């Protein structure tokens, strides 16, 4: 790359991103409905007239205070053409439109938003990828130090990247007071409330409104599959754990789903395509959600696991699909029990789990409430808030 490197904030309207110039504009050619831009590294990027007019960032088209568009593309004719195009002495692409409007595009911004195949593939390759794990994570558990995370933004960022990419993390040296969890959450964003409260107490209760609030073995599950959006991150802060039993278990739901895709593709497809209902009813609430157990993103990558056997309704599927649904469901549960996927750890007072609730299924082994106290404090934060915080820390 022989292009001039620069890292000025070059967008016409500040949006907190930099657009370094990786290649210069070398030429512009007109076609019927688009311009074809040639870059100094040989790449050719087509830009449709509509796209260019739509992305004009002048002060008439975008409000400089909010950096939000005032113009709407439907207010320009569909046939709008450039009258004149040129590359100016700063390397910007200038367009004089037929209707008298003028637009100017910074080469760094234009390259960052080019939609030729090579540019799109480059952007795709830069997206964060999940690192799948199995039982070996037990030896390499991502552990972070609470005082550092609270005081140091780079320690905070390292922790949050591990939450995003690995999905299970542990904080150590956490004070065992009830004000810790709200303070920690605030380091990231605001808390996602539910009918169980802003904070919830995981304790064995006589009047339990969830099996989570008993001393039973609680099989591997995600929390609140009964909601359209399952909570993104779950925090479990151990205040006291003097009871016998009650170890934490985690599996990587993404790793299990990918293994299922390899080992039994038709069962994987069944879990991606069959909506299953989850429900939770109490005297004051009545939640239902109907969605598949495995969700894929637009690229076909596993993006979410929704699963809690104890919150599942009776399967409701066409008669001919029922046997396949049971085969797939049985296989999935059986896989969550396989040692190759499982990490089992006791959480002690002063430790805290933070995990991706839509990826890492979690479980608790049975404990004996007569043997000692056990009290975890919990809360949720959504993935949107995690990702927003990471982007701000990375600016």
Q: Which of residues 54-93 bind its own copies (CB under 8 A)?
A: 54-55, 63, 65-70, 72-74, 78
Rank residues 247 and 277 by Cβ distance to its own copies and give the closer one: 277
First to last CA, the chain: 25
Q: How many Å separate Cα 198 from the centre of its chain? A: 21
Question: Which of 87-95, 129-137, 234-242, 377-385 is the region at the interface with its own copies (rule: CB under 8 A)?
Answer: 377-385
Is residue 157 a contact point for its own copies (CB under 8 A)? Answer: no
Kind of pairing between the strands at 82-87 and 93-97: antiparallel
For residue 34 the two structure tokens come to 């688009």
| Binds its own copies by CB under 8 A, chosen from 6, 158, 176, 211 | 211
Residues of this chain, 22-61, that bind its own copies according to CB under 8 A: 33, 46, 48, 50-51, 54-55
Q: Report d(CA 250, CA 137) in Å as an integer.
A: 10
Tell the smallest beta-carbon distance from residue 240 to its own copies (Å). Answer: 23
Tell the smallest beta-carbon distance from residue 5 to its own copies (Å). Answer: 23
Tell the smallest beta-carbon distance from residue 104 to its own copies (Å). Answer: 15
Rank residues 4 and 290 by Cβ distance to its own copies and give the closer one: 290
Is residue 340 a contact point for its own copies (CB under 8 A)? Answer: no
Q: Report d(CA 37, CA 118) in Å as an integer.
A: 14
Tell the smallest beta-carbon distance from residue 112 to its own copies (Å). Answer: 9
Rank residues 137 and 311 by Cβ distance to its own copies and give the closer one: 311
Question: Which of 20-28, 82-90, 164-172, 313-321 is the region at the interface with its own copies (rule: CB under 8 A)?
Answer: 313-321
Residues of this chain, 87-146, that bind its own copies according to CB under 8 A: 113, 115-117, 120, 123
Bridge partners for 305 per DSSP? 294
For residue 174 the two structure tokens come to 């956490």
Tell the smallest beta-carbon distance from residue 387 to its own copies (Å). Answer: 7
Q: Residue 148, SS3?
A: helix
Tell the smallest beta-carbon distance from residue 175 to its own copies (Å). Answer: 25
3-state secondary structure 328-344: HHHHHHHHHCCHHHCEE
- Cβ 366 vs Cβ 216: under 8 Å: yes
| Binds its own copies by CB under 8 A, chosen from 6, 98, 104, 214 | 214
Tell the smallest beta-carbon distance from residue 349 to its own copies (Å). Answer: 27
Tell the smallest beta-carbon distance from residue 135 to its own copies (Å). Answer: 20
Is residue 183 a contact point for its own copies (CB under 8 A)? Answer: no
- Cβ 389 vs Cβ 160: under 8 Å: yes
**Phi, psi dihedral angles at 260 (to 5 degrees):** -65, -40
Residues of this chain, 262-301, that bind its own copies according to CB under 8 A: 275, 281, 283-290, 298
Q: Report d(CA 342, CA 358) in Å as an integer.
A: 17
Number of residues that bind its own copies (CB under 8 A): 86
Q: Report d(CA 297, CA 129) in Å as an integer.
A: 12
Is residue 312 a contact point for its own copies (CB under 8 A)? Answer: yes
Kind of pairing between the strands at 244-245 and 367-368: antiparallel
367-386 burial: b if 16+ Cβ within 10 Å, else e: bebeeeebbbbbbbbbbebb
For the chain, how big is the Rg over CA atoms in Å? Answer: 26
Q: Report d(CA 39, CA 94) in Å as an integer.
A: 15
Rank residues 1 and 319 by Cβ distance to its own copies and give the closer one: 319
CA distances from 28 to 32, 84, 108, 151 (A): 13, 11, 16, 50
Tell the smallest beta-carbon distance from residue 187 to its own copies (Å). Answer: 12
Rank residues 138 and 388 by Cβ distance to its own copies and give the closer one: 388
Residues 6+ apart with CB under 8 A from 123: none
Is residue 383 a contact point for its own copies (CB under 8 A)? Answer: yes
Rank residues 97 and 133 by Cβ distance to its own copies and give the closer one: 97
Is residue 388 a contact point for its own copies (CB under 8 A)? Answer: yes
């Amino acid at each position: 790359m022989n292009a001039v490197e620069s890292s000025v904030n070059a967008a016409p309207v500040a949006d907190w991103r930099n657009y370094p110039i990786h290649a210069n504009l070398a030429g512009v050619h007109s076609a019927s409905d688009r311009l074809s831009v040639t870059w100094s590294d040989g790449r050719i990027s087509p830009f449709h007239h509509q796209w260019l007019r739509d992305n004009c960032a002048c002060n008439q088209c975008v409000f400089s205070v909010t950096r939000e568009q005032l113009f709407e593309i439907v207010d320009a004719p569909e046939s709008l053409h450039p009258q004149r195009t040129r590359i100016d002495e700063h390397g910007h692409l200038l367009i004089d439109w037929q209707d008298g409007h003028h637009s100017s595009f910074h080469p760094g911004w234009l390259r960052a938003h080019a939609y030729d195949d090579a540019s799109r593939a480059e952007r795709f390759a830069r997206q964060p990828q999940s690192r799948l794990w199995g039982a070996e994570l037990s030896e390499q558990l991502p552990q972070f130090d609470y005082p550092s995370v609270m005081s140091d933004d780079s320690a905070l960022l390292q922790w949050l990247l591990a939450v995003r990419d690995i999905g299970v993390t542990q904080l150590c040296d956490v004070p065992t007071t009830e004000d810790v969890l709200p303070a920690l959450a605030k380091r990231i964003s605001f808390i996602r409330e539910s009918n169980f409260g802003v904070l919830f107490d995981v304790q064995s209760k006589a009047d339990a409104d969830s099996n989570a609030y008993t001393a039973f073995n609680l099989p591997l599950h995600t929390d609140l599959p009964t909601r359209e959006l399952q909570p993104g991150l779950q925090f479990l802060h151990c205040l006291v754990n003097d009871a016998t039993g009650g170890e934490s278990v985690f599996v990587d739901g993404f790793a299990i789903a990918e293994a299922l895709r390899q080992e039994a593709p038709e069962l994987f497809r069944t879990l991606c395509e069959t909506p299953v209902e989850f429900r939770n009813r109490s005297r004051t609430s009545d939640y239902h959600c109907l969605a598949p157990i495995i969700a894929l993103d637009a690229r076909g990558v596993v993006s979410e696991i929704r699963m809690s056997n104890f919150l599942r309704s009776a399967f409701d599927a066409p008669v001919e699909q029922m046997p396949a649904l049971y085969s797939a469901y049985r296989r999935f549960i059986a896989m969550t029990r396989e040692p190759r996927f499982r990490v089992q750890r006791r959480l002690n007072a002063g430790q805290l789990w933070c995990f991706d609730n839509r990826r890492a299924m979690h479980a608790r082994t049975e404990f004996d409430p007569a043997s000692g106290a056990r009290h975890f404090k919990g809360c949720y934060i959504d993935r949107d808030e995690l990702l927003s915080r990471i982007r701000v820390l990375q600016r």
